[in-house]
Amino acid sequence: MKFLQWLHRWTSLIILLQVFLWTLSAAWFTIMDHDGMKAHQYMAHGDHSMLNTTDMVDLNQFEHHFTDASLVRVQLVDGIPQVVVRYGEDEYEYLHGLTGLPWQTGEAMATRLAQASYSGPGDVKRITAIEETWELHGWKGSAWKVEFGDDLNTRVYVDENSGTVIDHRNTPWVISDWAFRLHFIDYTGGRNFNNLVIITAAVVTLWFALSGLILLIKLLGSGEMRWSWRKVPMRTQAGDSEVNLVTPKHRTILQTLQSNELPIGSGCGGGGTCGLCKVRVEDESLPVTDAESELLSQEELAQGIRLACRHKTPTKGKVVLQDNAARYELELTSSRFITPLMKELKFSVVTDEHPEFKAGQYVQFLIPEAVSRARPDDIPEPYHGVWESIAEVEFEHSEVRRNYSMAVRPGAEELVFNVRYQPTADGAKVPGVGSTYLFNLKPGDNVVVEGPFGEFVRTDNEQHVQCFIGGGAGMAPLRSLIQEELESESPRKIEFFYGARSKQELCYADEFEELAEQGKLLFTPVLSEATSHCDWDGPKGFVHQTVENYLKDVDVLSRDYYVCGPPAMLAETLKLLKSMGVPDSQIRFDDFGN
């Protein structure tokens, strides 16, 4: 699809001008019609006088001319019988029927012939003898050009050798002739539309048009262009307020909610794969789709919970939003690198109301359609090496929605997020759209978010140790959860295992080490790629291995576990906890931290 778009674009660049010229000349043709293009506006019908053979030389006297002749024709020209002898298929000799001598068309006769072929309002203005003219392509010989004083500047060409009216010409004809040159790409005036240039252009255009058609069909197939004029109401309940939305019938519940700026979680943009756009629909007849039986629990389905992206606007019943979410406008106050590929973004809330969220929840950033630079301009000196391989390009992207967890406790003055730069993945053309856009934000820039969403929140098991296990950008929700726990009236015991590749990637290490020194928590950073020349005396390897060793000597079941990090780390850790017999109710995880 991307390749086809690219090809469509570049072909268009090559063929654009000609397509325009084709359209332009076609516009002229459709306005002028056939007659106008031929300069036949003032052409009179042919002369049909009866042959007058009086005084005519007996045909047998022309005998010597008939050798090799295939046809002899006798016709009237200017009232005089003319003998036309054809040799082969298209060679002609013209003879005077009264004298037997070669035909001659004089000025006076040419004028009479021109007038006889003319039905317009003008009079003869000028007569010129000519030997050649570009207005008669392919004609050779001597001719009279008889010009008439009319609105179209008509001129009539009369062949001297035969007395034939070769053709009429006028001003619209000249324009038409140029239109033909443009349309046939034949600038010789020969109107040959089988030339090599136009064949090439035709093949390129054919490919261009077909690539457009394929793109269109794919687009139609993707459902992006569905349309219906019919609008239907959709009763929607958000929190305590109920609104009646009016929406085109073809839209999904998710599209309707999003276009009405009603906040709803979504990670995959309506693809039915993330399971986040949960709503409760008060319509028992609503079927359960495959995606829903896979992503929603039996209890949820029984309660009427459905995925908003899987259903078109319901005809009856009410749609109840599950989260107390809203739309907020944020303004960036600071943006700094905390690891070579991760930034900490701080925002103040522009909207009057401050979002009320629980630690561990996320908001959805509405990344607008924009042109973004793959490489921001504020990369600190020490990280230049890491960024060297990332090409300095600009690329265009469409609107997307991206989820980021708050990296700060609820109630804090500013909202903090950790954004990890997503480099161009294998097979992709451009780096991650959301992260690139956010990396380029400057203090003072505004962005719109919706939320909060998510169930990655603290448990209420009072006696349990709170064990946080994370890696990479999984830091964000864990930091928020830990801060909230420490702020609570009687904080539970906290253990925090955090994995990174190198010391450089160990974000917020100072902050947690200070908390550890104050005895507020146990902090265990783990490095997977610690090198010998790096002064690291902490645990090495993957974080789940360290956790495994640690859990061997403690009571595994008296803990609540919070896991968030890169997919591999998350999977390994969950596997470990399961193998140790930790019940699901004591494990919470979030796989949107990366």
The least distance separating another protein from the CB of residue 390, rounded to whole angstroms, comes to 11
The least distance separating another protein from the CB of residue 139, rounded to whole angstroms, comes to 19
User: Is residue 561 left, alpha or beta, with left meaning phi > 0 and alpha meaning psi from -120 to 50?
Assistant: beta
The least distance separating another protein from the CB of residue 168, rounded to whole angstroms, comes to 20
Amino acid at site 461: N
Amino acid at site 465: V
The least distance separating another protein from the CB of residue 94, rounded to whole angstroms, comes to 14
- Distances in Å between the Cα of 369 and the Cα atoms of 177, 372, 396, 434, 575 are 46, 9, 8, 11, 39
The least distance separating another protein from the CB of residue 334, rounded to whole angstroms, comes to 19
The least distance separating another protein from the CB of residue 84, rounded to whole angstroms, comes to 9
Nearer to another protein, 302 or 371 (CB): 371
Nearer to another protein, 101 or 371 (CB): 371
Phi, psi of 402 (to 5 degrees): -135, 140
Amino acid at site 268: C
Rounded-to-integer distance, Cα 584 and Cα 291, Å = 22
Rounded-to-integer distance, Cα 257 and Cα 516, Å = 45
Q: Confirm if 256 and 313 have CB atoms less than 8 A apart.
A: yes
Both tokens assigned to 538:
């902490």
**Residue 365: which of 315, 296, 415 has the closest Cα?**
415
The least distance separating another protein from the CB of residue 195, rounded to whole angstroms, comes to 9
Nearer to another protein, 197 or 568 (CB): 197
Nearer to another protein, 212 or 269 (CB): 212
DSSP letter (8 states) at residue 64: G
> What's the Rg (C-alpha) of the chain?
42
Please write down the HEC assignment for all residues of 472-514: HHHHHHHHHHHHHHHHCCCCCCEEEEEEECCHHHCCCHHHHHH
Nearer to another protein, 14 or 568 (CB): 14
Q: How many CB atoms lie within 10 A of CB 289?
A: 16
Centroid of chain to Cα 330: 28
Question: Quick check: helix, strand or coil at residue 334?
Answer: strand
Give the H or E element holding residue 299: helix 298-303
The least distance separating another protein from the CB of residue 380, rounded to whole angstroms, comes to 19
Nearer to another protein, 139 or 193 (CB): 193
Question: Quick check: helix, strand or coil at residue 13?
Answer: helix
3-state helix, strand, coil in the chain (%, to 5): 30, 30, 40
Nearer to another protein, 180 or 357 (CB): 180
**404 Cβ contact list (under 8 Å, min separation 6):** 362, 363, 365, 417, 418, 419, 476
Phi, psi of 145 (to 5 degrees): -105, 110
Nearer to another protein, 17 or 101 (CB): 17
Nearer to another protein, 2 or 533 (CB): 2
Both tokens assigned to 577:
């906890």
Nearer to another protein, 439 or 562 (CB): 439
DSSP letter (8 states) at residue 292: H
The least distance separating another protein from the CB of residue 471, rounded to whole angstroms, comes to 32
The least distance separating another protein from the CB of residue 511, rounded to whole angstroms, comes to 32
Count how many Cα atoms sit within 13 Å of the Cα of residue 167 in the half-sphere of its side chain: 15
The least distance separating another protein from the CB of residue 82, rounded to whole angstroms, comes to 10
**Residue 279: which of 247, 294, 248, 301 has the closest Cα?**
301
Amino acid at site 579: S
Nearer to another protein, 71 or 243 (CB): 71
Q: How many CB atoms lie within 10 A of CB 21?
A: 16
Q: Confirm if 568 and 518 have CB atoms less than 8 A apart.
A: no
Nearer to another protein, 96 or 559 (CB): 96
The least distance separating another protein from the CB of residue 582, rounded to whole angstroms, comes to 46
The least distance separating another protein from the CB of residue 296, rounded to whole angstroms, comes to 33
Nearer to another protein, 59 or 571 (CB): 59
Give the binding site for another protein (CB under 8 A).
9, 12-13, 16, 19-20, 23, 26-27, 29-31, 33-34, 48-53, 56, 58-60, 63, 66-76, 81, 89, 192-194, 198-199, 202-203, 205-206, 208-210, 212-213, 216, 219, 225, 368-372, 391-396, 398, 437, 440
The least distance separating another protein from the CB of residue 297, rounded to whole angstroms, comes to 38
Nearer to another protein, 29 or 536 (CB): 29
DSSP conformation letters of 425-469: PTT-SS--HHHHHHHT--TT-EEEEEEEE--------TTSEEEEE
For 1, counting Cβ atoms within 10 Å of its Cβ (0-12 exposed, 13-18 middle, 19+ buried), the class is exposed
